[in-house]
Each structure stands twice: as C-alpha cells, then as structure tokens.
C-alpha cells in the first residue's frame, strides 16, 4: 500500500488550485454565459470591447502621454502639476483619470503603484488591469516588501535608490512616469511610445529598452 504523504498532497492541491481561474473570474464567466443563453448580450460585442481596452484604449494611451512628457518639458511640467488637465489635452480624460497623480521615476527614486483595498486603476489610459495587480499577494506585499515584489518582476533596485509605494483609491489614482531610455534621441513620439510598457507605468518595470 502506498505511503500517504500529507505534505505532498497539500502541495499538489495548492498547485492545482493555482492554475484555476479566480472566484471572481468564474463568476464573470458564469454571468456572461447566462446572458448569452438568454440572448441579452452578443459574445462578439464583448470580445470587441475587451480587445479595445486591451489593445487600443490602453495601455497605448498611457504610452502616448509618457512619450509626450519625454519630448516636451512644458507638457511634462503640466502633467506632474495637474495630471487630469494634461491628459485631457489628448482627450483621454475619464472617470478613472479625473483624480490622477503622476509620480516620476528618477535615478534616485523608483515608484510602485498598488491598491491595497481592491483594484483601483486608471483603466481609461492603461486598459484592463492585469490579474496580478488585483491579487491579494501583490496588494499586501507591495507595501510590506516592495523590493522583493520588484525582484520577482526582474527589477533589481539598488540600495541607493529609494522605493516609494503609492496606494491608489477610488478618489486618487497614480501613474508612474518612467525614465526615458538612453540613446533614444532619434526616435519620434510614436517610436518612444512603442518602448513604454504597461508595467513601467505601474512601476513593476524600470529599465526600458532603447536603441543600442
């Protein structure tokens, strides 16, 4: 008779559950299925909206804002002073960005954004929030151990760099302005925007690739 190892069973159980969709995702899928069966929604319409928020609305909008700040010092100053007004110059202002603060990465400061209570997020310029941003582990550890969290994203922050964690709420949300990569002087705004990642505007990415 095989020997029962409670520890191995528990590890296997945890591993299997780690690959299952979250409870909220399952609820959304169930609701979507019921609405489709009743003819109340069109699956193609849902897919189109998901694609729009993922590919068009964000994070490309945020990348355009960052690129403009990199090439236009006056716009950058406006963005840091009054982010909603500056973003409205692009026509990107929405409910999730009406109360937005932009924080700038520098050689001595790195910023990390989290929402410890739920998942407040400037979706109108960053698109749909990634699953890890809404996970309890990220929401708690980003405050307690930000350097450890960043390391898990492949971002090593030296002791000489201060890490600042910003807690988003329904009333105030944050966007990180990453540093412009070196050797990008020949790129126009469109080329610069292509270098900006969603994670860099959350703070889980730091060194963006430029020209060699």
CA atoms within 13 Å, Cβ hemisphere of 124: 16
- For residue range 133-173, list pLDDT tens digits in order: 999 999 999 999 999 999 999 999 999 999 999 999 989 99
Instruction: Show me where the domains of the chain are located.
Output: 58-202
Instruction: Report, at the CATH architecture level, how domain 58-202 is classified.
Output: Alpha-Beta Complex (3.90)
> Residue 56's pLDDT band (boundaries 50, 70, 90)?
low
| Residues annotated as catalytic (active site), given as ranges | 115, 118-120
Of 34-43, 45-54, 60-69, 175-184, give the lowest mean pLDDT range.
45-54
Helices (H), ranges, the chain: 6-18, 23-37, 43-51, 60-71, 73-81, 83-88, 123-126, 131-134, 136-144, 146-152, 189-193, 198-202
What's the pLDDT score for residue 55? 56
What Cα–Cα distance (Å) separates residue 43 from each residue in 24, 59, 127?
19, 23, 20
Q: Which residues contact 142 (CB under 8 A, 6 or more apart)?
A: 112, 114, 116, 149, 165
Kindly indicate the confidence band of residue 209, based on its pLDDT and cuts at 50, 70 and 90.
confident
Q: How far apart are CA 122 and CA 170, in angstroms?
A: 10
């Amino acid at each position: 008779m095989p020997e029962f190892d409670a520890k191995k069973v528990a590890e296997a159980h945890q591993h299997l559950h780690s690959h299952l969709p979250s409870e909220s995702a399952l609820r959304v899928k169930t609701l979507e299925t019921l609405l489709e069966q009743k003819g109340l929604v069109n699956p193609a319409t849902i897919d189109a909206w998901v694609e729009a928020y993922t590919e068009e609305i964000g994070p490309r909008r945020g990348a355009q804002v960052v690129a403009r700040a990199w090439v236009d010092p006056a716009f950058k100053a406006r963005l840091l002073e009054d982010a909603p007004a500056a973003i409205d110059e692009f026509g990107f202002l929405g409910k999730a960005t009406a109360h937005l603060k932009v924080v700038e990465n520098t050689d001595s400061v790195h910023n990390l954004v989290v929402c410890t209570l739920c998942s407040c997020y400037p979706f109108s310029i960053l698109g749909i929030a990634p699953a890890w941003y809404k996970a309890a582990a990220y929401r708690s550890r980003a405050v307690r151990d930000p350097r450890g969290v960043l390391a898990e994203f492949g971002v090593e922050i030296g002791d000489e760099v201060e890490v600042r964690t910003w807690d988003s709420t329904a009333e105030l949300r944050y966007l990180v302005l990453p540093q412009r990569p070196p050797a990008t002087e020949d790129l126009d705004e469109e080329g610069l925007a292509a270098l900006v990642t969603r994670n860099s505007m959350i703070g889980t990415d730091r060194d963006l690739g430029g020209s060699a």
